[in-house]
Homo-oligomer: A and B are copies of this chain.
Amino acid sequence: METTHDCLPCFIRQALEAVRFATSDQDVHESVLRRVLTAAADMDLKQSPPLMGQVIHRLVRQISGNDDPYKSVKAASNRFALKMYPLLKEKIEKSAAPVETAVRFAIAGNIIDFGVNNEISPEIIEATIERSLTDSLCGSRNVLQQFVFPGKKILYLGDNAGEIVFDRMLIEKLSADRIFYAVRGGPVINDATLADAEETGMTGLVDVVDNGSDAPGTVLSECSADFLRLFEDADFVIAKGQGNFETLSHVNKPIVFLLKAKCPVIARHIGCDIGTAVIWQRFFPTD
């Protein structure tokens, strides 16, 4: 997905929010802002928005000297989501349609995104999950009815810390031959990395791989050879969140995207309202 003109002011706002998150030093804030403004002025708009996200968060880490500004936020999100796990797990098991319920929770968990909005509170998360069972889903419900993959190799692309616990609940309900779970190759915003997979029990459940890149999405041209082999070998990819959607929605591969449409550009692109739970596929195995 290409970068739109509407993304440009949003990049500058995101840079300011991120650098304020990383340090209280106003000289660093100004320095990051000036560098991001310069980078945005020259940006190739054919690139997907997460490429600028990568530039922004590299500058924030480099200039602030803080290698992982969202480290404590990620740990807190994981703890918070793990506390919800037993109750939500029970709701899934008691549900008339456990896979659909798990998918709905997995999409609701995508609200834990500090890239779009860094004022995510426990109340907002709980309210989103509460509503997720009755909210309308934008996309194809047919996809949901075929959400079992016997004999198939699945690659599940994670998005954020905290949210990864909701991914775990969905993976626990998936029938597949083998499931791999991918995280980012290094810290960027509150995106899940290997540390989050370990903290949330994902590593004990399936094979976890990192994609070798610190972009807040899946930029295939930057991913490691190991990750690319898994991506090619997978019969089916489940991709969480806006960043993975923005970087992979054009790729010729059976991928289903599960996300909350959190910004007007994505919502317009998909054809839904902001805040909608989205299940979107370009190709599906039965096509």
Residues of A within 8 A of B (CB): 5-6, 8-10, 12-13, 16, 26, 29-30, 33-35, 37-38, 40-42, 45
Q: Are A8 and B26 in contact, CB atoms less than 8 angstroms apart?
A: no
Enumerate chain B residues within 8 angstroms of A37, measured Cβ to Cβ. 8, 37-38, 40-41
**In the bound complex, how far is the Cα of B59 from the Cα of A41, in angstroms?**
15
**In the bound complex, how far is the Cα of B16 from the Cα of A95, in angstroms?**
47
Q: Are B30 and A45 in contact, CB atoms less than 8 angstroms apart?
A: yes
State how many copies of this chain the complex holds: 2
- Report the minimum CB–CB distance from A44 to chain B (whole Å): 11
**In the bound complex, how far is the Cα of B30 from the Cα of A26, in angstroms?**
30
Q: Are B9 and A30 in contact, CB atoms less than 8 angstroms apart?
A: no
Q: Are A30 and B5 in contact, CB atoms less than 8 angstroms apart?
A: yes
28 contacts between A and B (CB under 8 A): A5-B16, A5-B26, A5-B29, A5-B30, A5-B33, A6-B16, A8-B12, A8-B16, A8-B33, A8-B37, A9-B9, A9-B10, A9-B12, A9-B13, A9-B16, A12-B12, A12-B40, A30-B45, A34-B41, A34-B42, A35-B41, A37-B37, A37-B38, A37-B40, A37-B41, A38-B38, A38-B41, A41-B41
